[in-house]
């Protein structure tokens, strides 16, 4: 039981970081990406390759994940600069679909459908982190470190310019903000942190395959941000906890056959998304009558 | 000959995509709502058809049930999801997330009811006969061709000649003026949803009778109609139809060069290229950036 709870806590910290990183794009930048699992995946595959071939050091693995995801985030920044609104959502959907196929087909790097197996237990500067408590501490440190960085940046000039851009692109431009640079940086920041989360995820699971980086996962992360509340620091964490605990709670409920839990869980969060948008679009942690 | 065969099946897929995408474009054109849940209407119609045929209904009756389901779903979305949201915010992202939530609910509902595997109805439609040596045509091809021809012709006449059709086009151009003329924008938008959703039915029924359906068909069709509309030019009916045809052919032709797994991705590469280099699509007018 303790092992199960520890595992859940580690996942919650990793997904909390992932959801918070998507919040930089969606909540602060107004860049509505449904391709976030792609960058989580880039980070996880890069991290897994480093762990398998070089060293399973947490710092190196997550740095590699962040670097790869950050560089490749240009694939998302390009359409973000060209179009916005519905068009961008469609573009990111397209990116997600192409990336899922690429993950499945690029077997030498990603292991295809079989995935990459046998990732060694994590280390930190030579010390083993095989104990779940130690790795949980690392995950929590990454989560709070990431949140601190985001809070600092979003409170400062960068975050304020970004929010101005979200609320009115032409007004921000009229104030002399460099719209292209701000958008590119926001995408790079969000995707880099997603890559770091991906690296941690690879170490946590000791196994990665394409199933974790599909459209469903992107939507789940998006749901975490939205259910919690976009553009707030606590929102993504609240959403992550709710959506991660949901399947765990469902498995204790009587009357649902275990094979249907996945579908029932999906139906519940789909319903939650739709109802929240109708009755409380700012999310659970958001202001009830927000300005937008 | 392989190329010709792929082209033929590409046209068959493309015609059905074109109808579905035209439904999406009709809804967007008239109401300015990006109906992300359009694929769910397709899925409901397809599974409703399979259910009815399995229960022993005759085909026309089953197709009628499929139409009722699709139209009912469209009207439901308009009245209970989009309209309440537009009353308070109207931000497109709110609309998108709500519609996506509904798609997930429909998809998992189907999974619970019918299982994750492919379902299909057996039919003689897929039995192919050789028209030329090495070139096979199934009857489904002619049905797709006829359905697309008749429906596009009827839709064109309806939009160009009847008062209601002209009012629908007026709603797209200037809703305020429309209201000033004493027409009900609400009733017209409900009509757009009903017609648009009904256009997804032929694709769904033929899909159930030929390739089969799986629960993920809802998101696949949603992506296809979005992609077709963007490639063709958003809001343009002709554009969506052309875009659907292009995507269907691209998906099938790519098989001659790459593995079949890439066929879906090929459509999205086309889409991505259009968004980067020509965001307003083939027929699109100036784009509000």
Q: Answer whether A273 sits within 8 Å of B100, measured CB to CB.
A: yes
- A143-147, B113-117, B129-133: which is most confident: A143-147
Which of A82, A104, A264 lies nearest to residue B276, judging by beta carbons? Answer: A82
Q: Answer whether B34 sits within 8 Å of A260, measured CB to CB.
A: no
pLDDT in tens, A173-216: 888 888 888 888 889 999 999 999 999 998 888 888 888 898 88
Tokens 């397209």 belong to residue: A94
Give chain B's mean pLDDT: 81
- The pLDDT of A163-175, averaged and rounded, is 83
End-to-end CA distance of chain A: 43
CB B43 within 8 A of CB B266: no
- The pLDDT of A42-66, averaged and rounded, is 87
Q: B145-149: long-range contacts (C-beta < 8 A, 24 or more apart)?
A: B145/B11, B145/B12, B145/B15, B147/B15, B147/B19, B147/B202, B147/B206, B148/B15, B148/B16, B148/B18, B148/B19, B148/B202
When pLDDT is cut at 50, 70 and 90, the band that residue A129 belongs to is confident
Whole-number pLDDT of residue A157: 86
When pLDDT is cut at 50, 70 and 90, the band that residue A289 belongs to is very low
Taking the Cβ of residue A86 and every Cβ of chain B, the question of whether any pair is shorter than 8 Å is answered with: yes
User: From the CB of residue A8, how many other CB atoms can be counted at a distance below 10 Å?
Assistant: 15
Which chain B residues are closer than 8 Å to A75 by Cβ? none
When pLDDT is cut at 50, 70 and 90, the band that residue B138 belongs to is confident
Which chain B residues are closer than 8 Å to A278 by Cβ? 81, 84-85, 98
Q: Which domains does chain B have, with CATH numbers?
A: 2-113+138-277 (1.10.3470)
Which chain A residues are closer than 8 Å to B111 by Cβ? 263, 266
Closest CA in chain A for residue B110: A263
A/B interface, count of CB pairs below 8 Å: 131
User: In this model, does residue A113 exceed pLDDT 90?
Assistant: no
Taking the Cβ of residue A167 and every Cβ of chain B, the question of whether any pair is shorter than 8 Å is answered with: no
Distance from A49 to chain B by nearest Cα, in Å?
24
Q: Answer whether A277 sits within 8 Å of B95, measured CB to CB.
A: yes
Whole-number pLDDT of residue A292: 42
Q: Answer whether B265 sits within 8 Å of A102, measured CB to CB.
A: yes
Which chain A residues are closer than 8 Å to B95 by Cβ? 277
Whole-number pLDDT of residue A6: 85
Taking the Cβ of residue A113 and every Cβ of chain B, the question of whether any pair is shorter than 8 Å is answered with: no
A204-230 core/surface letters (b: 16 or more CB in 10 A; e: else)? bbbebbbebbbbbbbbbbbbbbbbbbb
pLDDT in tens, B74-128: 999 888 888 888 777 667 778 888 888 898 889 888 888 887 778 877 766 666 6
Distance from B130 to chain A by nearest Cα, in Å?
34
Taking the Cβ of residue B197 and every Cβ of chain A, the question of whether any pair is shorter than 8 Å is answered with: no
Strands A116-117 vs A207-208: parallel, antiparallel or unpaired: antiparallel
pLDDT in tens, B146-163: 888 888 888 888 888 888
User: In this model, does residue B283 exceed pLDDT 70?
Assistant: no
Tokens 């595959």 belong to residue: A45
End-to-end CA distance of chain B: 44
Cα–Cα distances (Å) from B237 to A240, B78, B150, B233, B252, in that order, read 41, 20, 15, 9, 23
Whole-number pLDDT of residue A70: 87
CA distance B243 to B18: 7
CA distance B23 to B241: 9
With a CB cutoff of 8 Å and minimum separation 6, the contacts of A97 are A215, B223, B264, B265, B268
pLDDT in tens, A226-266: 888 777 888 888 888 888 887 777 777 766 676 777 778 77
Whole-number pLDDT of residue B286: 47
With a CB cutoff of 8 Å and minimum separation 6, the contacts of B39 are B103, B217, B218, B219, B220, B221, B222, B223, B224, B225
Q: Answer whether A266 sits within 8 Å of B107, measured CB to CB.
A: yes
User: In this model, does residue A31 exceed pLDDT 70?
Assistant: yes
Q: Answer whether B226 sits within 8 Å of A91, measured CB to CB.
A: no
User: In this model, does residue A30 exceed pLDDT 50?
Assistant: yes
User: In this model, does residue A290 exceed pLDDT 50?
Assistant: no
Cα–Cα distances (Å) from B233 to B24, B52, B276, B282, in that order, read 12, 36, 14, 6
User: In this model, does residue A111 exceed pLDDT 60?
Assistant: yes
Backbone phi, psi, residue B167, to 5°: -65, -40
Considering all CA atoms of chain B, what is the largest pairwise distance in Å, rounded to the nearest integer? 62
Among candidate residues B62, B48, B43, B51, the one with its CA nearest the CA of residue B106: B43
CA distance B110 to B117: 11
Q: Answer whether B104 sits within 8 Å of A89, measured CB to CB.
A: no
Give the A window 222-261 contacts with B, CB below 8 Å: 222-223, 226, 260
Whole-number pLDDT of residue B115: 79
Q: Answer whether A281 sits within 8 Å of B101, measured CB to CB.
A: no
Which of B95, B234, B268 lies nearest to residue A98, judging by beta carbons? Answer: B268
Mutant choice from A168, A277, A279, A287 vs B, greatest count of B C-beta within 10 A: A277
CB A232 within 8 A of CB A285: yes
User: In this model, does residue B289 exceed pLDDT 70?
Assistant: no
When pLDDT is cut at 50, 70 and 90, the band that residue B133 belongs to is low
- The pLDDT of B47-68, averaged and rounded, is 88
User: In this model, does residue A139 exceed pLDDT 50?
Assistant: yes
For residue B163, give both structure tokens: 């008062």
Burial class (CB in 10 A: 0-12, 13-18, 19+), B29: buried
Mutant choice from A94, A99, A272 vs B, greatest count of B C-beta within 10 A: A94
Which of B97, B108, B268 lies nearest to residue A267, judging by beta carbons? Answer: B108
When pLDDT is cut at 50, 70 and 90, the band that residue A115 belongs to is confident
Give chain A's mean pLDDT: 83
Q: Answer whether A277 sits within 8 Å of B94, measured CB to CB.
A: yes
Distance from B157 to chain A by nearest Cα, in Å?
30
CB A65 within 8 A of CB A42: yes
Among candidate residues B221, B185, B180, B162, the one with its CA nearest the CA of residue B16: B221
Closest CA in chain A for residue B263: A101
Which of B84, B101, B107 lies nearest to residue A271, judging by beta carbons? Answer: B101
User: In this model, does residue A119 exceed pLDDT 90?
Assistant: no
User: From the CB of residue B246, how many other CB atoms can be counted at a distance below 10 Å?
Assistant: 22
- The pLDDT of B180-190, averaged and rounded, is 83
Whole-number pLDDT of residue A287: 57
User: In this model, does residue B287 exceed pLDDT 60?
Assistant: no
- The pLDDT of B129-137, averaged and rounded, is 66
In 3-state terms, what secondary structure has residue B249? helix
Whole-number pLDDT of residue B285: 55
- The pLDDT of B194-211, averaged and rounded, is 87
Whole-number pLDDT of residue A17: 92
Q: Which residue has the higher pLDDT, A122 or B264?
A: A122
Q: Answer whether A98 sits within 8 Å of B223, measured CB to CB.
A: no
């Amino acid at each position: 039981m303790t092992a199960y709870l520890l595992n859940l806590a580690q996942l919650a910290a990793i997904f909390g970081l992932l959801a918070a990183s998507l919040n930089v794009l969606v909540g602060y930048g107004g860049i509505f990406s449904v391709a976030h699992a792609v960058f989580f995946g880039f980070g996880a595959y890069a991290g897994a390759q480093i762990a398998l071939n070089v060293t399973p050091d947490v710092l190196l693995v997550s740095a590699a994940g962040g670097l790869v995801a950050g560089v490749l985030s240009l694939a998302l920044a390009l359409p973000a600069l060209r179009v916005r609104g519905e068009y961008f959502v469609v573009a990111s959907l397209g990116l997600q679909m192409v990336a899922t196929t690429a993950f499945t087909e690029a077997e030498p790097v990603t292991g295809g459908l079989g995935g990459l197996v046998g990732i060694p237990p994590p280390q930190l500067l030579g010390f083993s982190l095989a104990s779940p408590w130690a790795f949980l501490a690392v995950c929590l440190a990454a989560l709070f470190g990431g949140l601190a960085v985001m809070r600092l940046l979003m409170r400062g000039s960068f975050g304020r310019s970004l929010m101005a851009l979200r609320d009115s692109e032409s007004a921000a431009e009229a104030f002399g903000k460099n719209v292209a640079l701000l958008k590119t940086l926001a995408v790079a920041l969000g995707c880099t942190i997603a890559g770091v989360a991906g690296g941690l995820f690879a170490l946590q699971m000791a196994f990665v395959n394409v199933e974790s980086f599909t459209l469903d996962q992107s939507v789940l992360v998006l749901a975490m941000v939205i259910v919690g509340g976009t553009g707030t620091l606590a929102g993504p964490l609240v959403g992550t906890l709710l959506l991660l605990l949901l399947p765990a709670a469902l498995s204790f409920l009587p009357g649902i056959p275990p094979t249907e839990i996945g579908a029932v869980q999906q139906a519940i969060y789909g319903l939650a998304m739709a109802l929240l948008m109708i009755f409380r679009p700012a999310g659970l942690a958001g202001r009830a009558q927000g300005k937008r | 000959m392989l190329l010709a065969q792929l082209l033929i099946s590409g046209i068959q897929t493309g015609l059905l995509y074109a109808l579905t995408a035209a439904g999406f474009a009709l809804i967007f054109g008239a109401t300015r709502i990006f109906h992300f849940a359009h694929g769910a209407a397709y899925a409901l119609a397809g599974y409703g058809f399979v259910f009815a045929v399995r229960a022993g209904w005759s085909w026309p009756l089953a197709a009628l049930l499929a139409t009722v389901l699709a139209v009912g779903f469209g009207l439901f979305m308009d009245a209970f999801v989009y309209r309440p949201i537009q009353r308070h915010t109207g931000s497109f992202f709110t609309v998108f997330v709500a519609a996506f939530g509904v798609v997930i609910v429909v998809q998992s509902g189907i999974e619970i009811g019918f299982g994750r595997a492919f379902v299909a109805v057996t039919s003689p439609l897929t039995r192919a006969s050789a028209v030329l040596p090495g070139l096979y045509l199934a009857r489904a091809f002619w049905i797709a061709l006829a359905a697309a021809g008749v429906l596009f012709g009827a839709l064109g006449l309806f939009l160009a000649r009847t008062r209601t059709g002209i009012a629908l086009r007026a709603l797209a151009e200037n809703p305020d003026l429309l209201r000033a003329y004493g027409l009900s924008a609400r009733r017209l938008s409900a009509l757009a949803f009903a017609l648009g959703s009904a256009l997804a039915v032929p694709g769904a029924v033929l899909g159930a009778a030929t390739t089969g359906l799986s629960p993920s068909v809802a998101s696949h069709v949603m992506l296809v109609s979005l992609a077709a509309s963007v490639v063709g030019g958003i809001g343009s009916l002709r554009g969506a139809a052309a875009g659907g045809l292009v995507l269907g052919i691209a998906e099938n032709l790519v098989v001659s060069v790459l593995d079949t797994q890439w066929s879906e991705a090929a459509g999205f590469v086309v889409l991505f290229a259009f968004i980067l280099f020509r965001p307003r699509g083939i027929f699109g007018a100036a784009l509000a950036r």
